């Protein structure tokens, strides 16, 4: 299991300290959320902040674009040294072309699905994906309640991947804590995105260690 802490809900007055904490923690990736206030009803930080983060992060960066026309920013994201670029199925009219552009740039390609979007819509693109992201909350804000139907979506997606003998990873994002993380791993998830459940605790580094232990127990 890979663990990808999201900094969406951290105290930005101490962003440098948070990145240092993640660097020395047992986390595998650093999850970054880019929002435009159009596709989702919220704004997050932009490329100037990402550039500063990229200078100090020692973890592979996993960027989640909750924006319209994400393909326009492929080069900028690649130039940051991003490992995985995630776009939403719901925002890409020419999804195959967008995925090809991401992969040709040298990054891993991932497609995210909103809670209402069935995994079966990935049938004709799953062979091209390095990862698929199942949203277990409605995208746009941290700290939301976990949507239980996401568990069955992960099971169905895992079955599709296994039937084709693919190596596509399944990432889950939203309301992930010790309890829901365990359920998602049992359903077939490979990557857990964590936020409030880690950074709203007194000892985020210890919580990341406990989350990482789920992979051993599972």
Q: Which of 11, 62, 130, 173 is catalytic?
A: 173
SS3 28: coil
Q: How many CA atoms lie within 13 A of 7 on its CB side?
A: 29
User: From CA 64, how far away is CA 44, in angstroms rounded?
Assistant: 11
Q: Which of 33, 62, 130, 190 is catalytic?
A: 33
The helix or strand, by DSSP H or E, that contains position 187, with its residue range, turns out to be: helix 178-187
- The answer to whether residue 28 is catalytic is no
User: From CA 159, how far away is CA 96, in angstroms rounded?
Assistant: 22
Q: Which of 173, 167, 116 is nearest to 146 (CA)?
A: 173
Beta bridge partners of 88: 112
Q: Which of 8, 128, 120, 125 is nearest to 63 (CA)?
A: 8
Cβ-in-10-Å burial (0-12, 13-18, 19+) of 17 comes to exposed
Neighbours of 60 (CB within 10 A): 15
Cβ-in-10-Å burial (0-12, 13-18, 19+) of 47 comes to middle
- The answer to whether residue 79 is catalytic is no
Task: Just list the catalytic residues.
Answer: 33, 173
């Amino acid at each position: 299991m890979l663990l990808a802490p999201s900094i969406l809900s951290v105290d930005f007055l101490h962003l440098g300290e948070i990145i240092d904490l993640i660097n020395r923690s047992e986390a595998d990736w650093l999850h970054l959320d880019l929002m435009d206030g159009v596709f989702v009803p919220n704004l997050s930080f932009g490329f100037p902040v990402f550039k500063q983060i990229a200078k100090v992060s020692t973890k592979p960066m996993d960027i989640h674009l909750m924006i319209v026309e994400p393909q326009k920013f492929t080069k900028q994201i690649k130039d940051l040294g991003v490992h995985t670029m995630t776009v939403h199925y719901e925002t890409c009219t020419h999804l195959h072309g967008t995925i090809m552009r991401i992969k040709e740039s040298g990054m891993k390609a991932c497609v995210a699905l909103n809670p209402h979007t069935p995994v079966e819509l990935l049938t004709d693109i799953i062979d091209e994906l390095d990862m698929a992201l199942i949203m277990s909350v409605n995208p746009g804000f941290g700290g939301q309640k976990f949507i239980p139907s996401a568990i069955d979506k992960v099971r169905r997606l895992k079955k599709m991947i296994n039937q084709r003998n693919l190596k596509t990873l399944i990432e889950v994002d939203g309301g992930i804590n010790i309890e829901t993380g365990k359920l998602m791993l049992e359903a077939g998830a490979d990557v857990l995105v964590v936020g409030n459940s880690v950074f709203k605790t007194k000892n985020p580094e210890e919580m990341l260690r406990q989350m990482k232990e789920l992979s051993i127990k599972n």
